[in-house]
Amino acid sequence: MEGQQLIRQARVSAGLTQRELARRLGTHQPVISRWESESARPDFNSVIRAIEACGFDLHIELRSVDHDTVLVKRELAKSPSERLAGLVDAVSAFNAMSAAAHD
């Protein structure tokens, strides 16, 4: 989830308008609107401040990621035809390498 989405989710969950959140942050409503519409990217500290101004705490945790799981998720995000095309390309490349090794 990106900062813009976190800010909007916290604001809506707190029942605040953009104007109310802006007042709590000492800024103006258009700033909050730009953050939430993704026309401006708030920096990390602004995201934290906005979430806290909504009465929430953002918990961040670093965890190691299993490389194989990342690869599987990437493949599953593709359509079946995209996965098949990738396999066809891989087999073609393997055949080309194999043929070159035998020459």
**Cα angle, residue 93 at apex, residues 103 and 85 outer, rounded to 5°:** 155
User: Element (H or E) spanning 32, and its range?
Assistant: helix 29-37
Each residue of 78-89: pLDDT tens digit?
Answer: 999 999 999 999
pLDDT of residue 10: 97
pLDDT for residue 27: 97
The pLDDT tens digits of the residues spanning 19-69 come to 999 999 999 999 999 999 978 889 999 999 999 999 999 988 887 778 888
User: Rounded to an integer, what distance in angstroms lies between the CA atom of residue 33 and that of residue 19?
Assistant: 9
Q: Give the CATH number of domain 3-53.
A: 1.10.260.40
Compute CA 31 distance to the chain's CA centroid, rounded to the nearest angstrom: 21
CA dist., res. 54 & res. 89, Å (int): 50
